[in-house]
Every structure is written in structure tokens, then in C-alpha cells.
Chain A
Amino acid sequence: MKDRQFWIVLGSLFVVFLIYWYLGHPMFNANRVVMFISIVAISATLLYNIRMAERGEEFYLRPIPGLKAVEEAVGRSTEMGKPVLYVPGIMDMDQVETVAGVIVLGHVAKMTARYETSLNVPVSRSIVMKAAREICRESYMIEGRPDMFHDDMVHYLTDDQFAYAAGVNGIMVREKPAACLYMGKFYAESLILAETGNSIGAIQIAGTASQAQIPFFVTACDYTLIGEEFFAASAYLSQKPELIGGVRGQDMVKAGVITIIILATLFRFLYEKWGIGFDVVKLLTVQ
């Protein structure tokens, strides 16, 4: 309610859409209007909270042990004189998890630059290699250590899943990194990586939204960021207001989703039992 500009723009867009709708909504797929409204509502919630955070509003974020441990892990590597191994997943930049993994890599690279620890980032895709190099180069420059950065710190191994796992395992067993960070999208190779990391005595921190792999990381790693915690990692590590605002916005949307689930269950029960109301399933089904 505090952000006048936001409400004026939102209100104007709403009026424009209403006029467009009543003019017959040409070229608009009317079956998907519920999804369209949902997307606009979620985006508006996120934007509102981002704007509030940028204006100085303080938001509380619960502490996530895994993210606090990232700096400890880098510190441990520095003390032991061993490198930090960072694995940004095995998928390409078209997966949002890989993007999130590369963002976290940027923060980790800042830490390794600050503590003068060597960083090893084996990647599975060429585009990820380029993006990861750019972000590492930028991080080292921001920390005032461009001399410490070299292109080969981020290097390509192979596209194949198990060949990549074999390559990373080889790096772990030969170089014995003190910290292994797995942040991105993983499949079956997750346990192979985590167990090998465990066998060399490294501190392991994993973050993934791959549902099937979360249990393996929880079992084998010291800290695991589960699902949304992983996407919120960049907000935690950077403490940038716009990112923290985004996390709060996500939580508000989640509260809305929970409310809709409860109401929809109630409506469905009333409709199917006594014919009261309307078929909420039909309304919420995406065409």
C-alpha cells in the first residue's frame, strides 16, 4: 500500500487489460486467462517486495546453516592450503538451477579471491564454462585480485553424465580439495560425487532443486540447501535488497498458494458432495 507508483502502474495495466478483454481480446487464448492472471499476480507480488526492499524496508530471513558454512568451508581450504572444488551441476544454462549455481559460484569466487585460495570449477557444458568464467573473472576483479584469476580455473570435462562424474572423482582423489560445493542440477551422479568427497574428508555443501537427488546429498553431505533455499542462496550471500525482497515475495506467494489449496479443497468437497458452488478444478486446470 505504501508504494503509490507501483499501485498506479498496476491499476493502469489492469484497466488496459479490462478494456482489451471487453473489446473481444483478439489473439488472446481465453482458456489460459487464469494462468495469465496468476503470472501477473505473482510477478506483481515479487516486484512489490523488491521495490519495498530497495526503499530500505528490512526483511527477516531465517538463517540457513548451509550458506553460513560456505565461508567456513573456504576458510578451511585456505588453512589447509588445499583448493575449493565447485561443481555447478551437469546441465546447461537453459536450466534455472544451473543459472542459480553459477550465481552462487560468483559469491564463492569472491571468497576464494579474498582468502587467496585456489578454485577449481570443472563443468559439463561449454556455455556454462563461458558464463562461469565471466562471473569468476568479475568476482576476482571486484575483490581486487585479477592476477589470481586464470581461464583454466573453469574448465570443460565432457557432456556425458558418468564420464563427467568419473572426471570430477579423479580431480577429487588426486587434488584432495578441502571443500566440495555442489550447486546446480544433478542426476544419478550426485551420490558418486558426494561419497567420493566424503571419502577424502572434504567438507561438502550441496544445493539442488533436483528432487530425487536431495536425499542423497542430505545423506552424504555436511550441509544441503533444499529446493527454494538454493534459489534464495544468492540473496543470502549478496545481501542485496532486491534479491532479499524477491525471497520475501516468494514466501508471500507460497502463503497465497497454500490458501488457494485449502479453499479449493473445501470448494471441491462442497461441489462434489452437495453440488454447492462451482467446479473449482475446471477453473484451475491449465488448458
Chain B
Amino acid sequence: MIWKRQIPILIVAVVGAITLFGWFIDQPDIKSFVDDDATQWYDILASFAIILGALNLIKLQFQKVAKKKKGWPYSLFAIGGFFFAITAGFFIKSLDNTVVWGAHVTTEGTLSKWIFDYMFTPLSATMFSLLAFFVASASYRAFRIRNFEATLLLAAGIIIMVGRVPIGSMISSWFIMYISVLALGIGVNSWKKNKMITFGVVGIGIVIVTIAGFLTGWPIDQPGIFYLPILQEWIYFYPNVAGARAIMIGIGLGIFATSIRYILGIEKSYIGE
């Protein structure tokens, strides 16, 4: 029982405390442990632990094939791919014996490199490319003007999407000003529900923008506040950074609190408690 409970808690407490407070200690051995050894111990453990995962994967796939469960032919691909990759990495260096072990994984002309270039790369790129379509369908579904915050999200999203790409720099700030006047008209109409006032506001707005445009010569990027690339830069630099920093601080505190609970032995979920 002591091995399953007290010893693991002690290990976590001691190693956690050394790693945390070791950062303040100017002693070479402790500094070396904190800076190098602690994280490397973990990586060594994780590297050997992968054998557990691999065995579990192969066991499940073999079971599927043996019991002819639904979709079992696909498991043949999983098993085949698994052994193919192991063979390429551990047993086949190159056709001639000029390549050194270790370097054979990335050297041109080896089986490992071939697997990377012609199997792994296209498959990874395909999965990542799904994001382009999913972003479109997710935006289409989610960006609805339900309330003020949703409208703000929609407006910011459109400004960033269009302002970030070259087409955004081709859209004149005067066009955006006209759109803004129309949007103001919609807002006034929802508030006052009076056609005369709405037409008045929109009409005056259009006249002001047109006169200003003629006087200034319609420069594409002035006034800057309505030029999409400048507007998206402002959104990135100020509201976005403010929100990002606030979330970062909150997340940092959450990470600290969780870690301290582990070091002090309050949280014992890693041993199943």
C-alpha cells in the first residue's frame, strides 16, 4: 500500500519542491537538475512509455482482425503501417551502406525519408487542410447577430478576415465609411423606428462622406480608422492583446494553483484518488 500511495506522493512533493525552489538556488548541481535533468528524466520516461501505448494499439487492432469486428479490414492497414514504419526505422538503413545509423532517418534516398515525403507529408497536409473547410462552416453557423457581443464578434471577425489579406488593402476607406453610414442607419431605425429620422441620418451621413471625399481627393487609405489593414492592426495590437494578456494571467494562476496542489499532496488524482 505504501508503494501505491505514500511513495508516489513523496516523490511528487520532493521533486516538485526541488524543481520549483531550485530556480532560486545558486548551486551548480541543483541548477543543472532544474535546468536540464528534471525535464530530460521525464522525456526518457515518456520515450520508454511509448512501448506501452504501441503494444495497446497493436493488441486492439489484432483483436479486431481476429474477431472480425466491424471495419476489421482497416485494422490491417493500421498493423501493416505500424510494422512498415518499424522496419524502415530500425532495420533498413539504405540500399548502399554509406549512410550512418541515425542520419538514415532524414537522408535523401532512404526508406524512412520516402515514407516521410510520400506518405506522412501528404496525409498531414490533408488533415490540416480540413481546417479551411471547417472554419468556413463553423463561421457560417456561429456568426449570427443575436446580441451586442455577437455583433461585435462578427464585425471584428470580418475586419480581421478581410483586412489581413491583400484584397483588404484594395478596399477604399471611403467604401467602409459608406457601409458604416448604412449600418448607423439600421441602428437608428431599430432604435427610433421612424423612417424620416432614418432617412435623414443616412442622407446626411452620405452627404458628409461624399463632400469629405471630394475635398481630400479620395485617398484609398485615409482616414486610417476606416482603412481595413490599419483597423485590423489596431484590433490585433490593442483589444486582442488586452484579452490575450488577461486570459494568460488567469491561465497562469490556474496552472500555479493546480501545480501547488500536486506538490502539497492535496490533489492525488495521478494515483487514482
**Interface residue from B251, B266, B267 paired with A211 (Cβ < 8 Å):** B251
B142, CB-defined interface residue at 8 Å: yes
Q: Are B24 and A46 in contact (CB under 8 A)?
A: no
User: B260, A195: Cβ atoms under 8 Å?
Assistant: no
Shortest Cβ distance from B80 into chain A, in angstroms?
15
B247 touches A100 (CB 8 A): no
* A16-56 residues at the B interface, CB under 8 angstroms: 27-29, 32, 35-36, 39, 42-43, 46-47, 50
Complex: A47 Cα to B265 Cα, angstroms: 12
- Name the segment of B124-132, B177-185, B197-205 touching the other chain: B124-132
Known: A195-B137, A254-B250. A127 touches B27 (CB 8 A): no
Given contacts A156-B53, A192-B131, A195-B134, contact A102 B251 (CB under 8 A): no
Pick from A35, A106, A156, A216: contact of B54, CB below 8 A: A156
- CA A191 – CA B264 in complex, angstroms? 36
B121 CB to closest chain A CB, in angstroms? 11
Report yes or no: A27 in contact with B27, Cβ–Cβ below 8 A. yes
With contact pairs A159-B50, A188-B131 given, residues A27 and B25 touching in the complex (Cβ less than 8 Å) = yes
Q: Which residue in B23, B56, B127, B248 is a CB contact (below 8 Å) of A129?
A: B56
Query: Which B residues lie within 8 Å of A35 (CB)?
Result: 24
B contact residues around A227 at 8 Å (CB): 247, 250-251, 254
Q: For the complex, what is the distance from the CA of A232 to the CA of B267, rounded to whole Å?
A: 13
Set of chain B residues within 8 Å of A232, measured between Cβ atoms: 254
B79 to chain A, nearest CB (A): 13
The count of residues in chain B whose C-beta lies closer than 8 Å to any C-beta of chain A is: 58
Q: Does A183 contact B (CB under 8 A)?
A: no
A96 & B57 in contact (Cβ 8 Å cutoff):
no
Min Cβ gap A185→B in Å is: 11
The digit string for A246-281, where 1 denotes a CB below 8 A from any CB of B, is 110110011001000000000000000000000000
A209 shortest CB reach to chain B, Å: 4
Q: Is the CB of B51 within 8 A of A131?
A: no
B23 touches A127 (CB 8 A): no
Q: How many whole Å from B100's CB to the nearest CB in chain A? A: 25
Of A1-9, A60-68, A110-118, A133-141, which stretch is located at the interface? A133-141
A99 at the interface (CB under 8 A from B): yes
How many angstroms from the CA of A125 to the CA of B248 in the assembled complex?
Answer: 25
8 Å CB interface, A162-221 against B: 162-163, 165-166, 174, 188-189, 191-192, 194-195, 198, 209, 211, 214, 216, 219-220
CB-CB nearest in chain B for A105: B269
Q: Does A147 contact B (CB under 8 A)?
A: no
A28-B26, A246-B257 known; A155-B269 Cβ under 8 A:
no
A103 within 8 A of B: yes
| Known interface pairs A130-B49, A191-B134, A253-B253; A28-B25 also in contact (CB < 8 Å) | yes
Instruction: Assess whether A156 is in contact with B57, with CB atoms less than 8 Å apart.
Output: yes
Measured CB to CB, the closest approach of chain B to A259, in angstroms, equals: 13
Whether B123 and A99, one on each chain, are in contact in the complex, defined by CB atoms closer than 8 angstroms, is no
A155 to B55, CA, bound (A): 10
Contact with A29, one of B25, B53, B134 (Cβ below 8 angstroms): B25
CB <8 Å contact, B52 and A129: yes
**A178 vs chain B, min Cβ distance (A):** 19
Q: Contacts A28-B24, A126-B50, A156-B56; is A228 near B127 (CB within 8 Å)?
A: no
Residues of the B chain whose Cβ atoms lie less than 8 Å from the Cβ of A135:
269, 272
Contact of B258 among A96, A138, A162 (CB under 8 A): A96
Which of these, A134, A138, A242, A250, contacts B254 with CB under 8 Å? A250
Q: Compute how far the CA of A209 lies from the CA of B259 in the bound complex, rounded to whole angstroms.
A: 15
A107 to B23 alpha-carbon distance, docked (Å): 35
Complex interface bits, B2-33 against A, C-beta within 8 A gives 1, otherwise 0: 00000000000000000010011111000000
16 interchain pairs, CB-CB under 8 A? A29-B24, A96-B255, A100-B254, A102-B269, A123-B53, A129-B53, A163-B123, A166-B123, A166-B127, A192-B131, A194-B138, A209-B255, A211-B244, A227-B254, A231-B255, A254-B250
Measured CB to CB, the residues of A under 8 A from B are 27-29, 32, 35-36, 39, 42-43, 46-47, 50, 92-94, 96-97, 99-100, 102-103, 106, 123, 125-127, 129-131, 134-135, 137-138, 152, 155-160, 162-163, 165-166, 174, 188-189, 191-192, 194-195, 198, 209, 211, 214, 216, 219-220, 226-228, 230-232, 234, 242-243, 246-247, 249-250, 253-254, 257
Q: A46-B260, A194-B138, A195-B138 are in contact. List 10 more A-B contacts (CB 8 A).
A: A29-B24, A99-B258, A126-B53, A131-B270, A165-B127, A188-B128, A227-B250, A228-B254, A246-B257, A254-B250
Q: List the 8 closest A-B pairs by CB distance, nearest first.
A: A231-B254, A126-B53, A156-B53, A138-B272, A162-B127, A134-B272, A126-B49, A195-B134
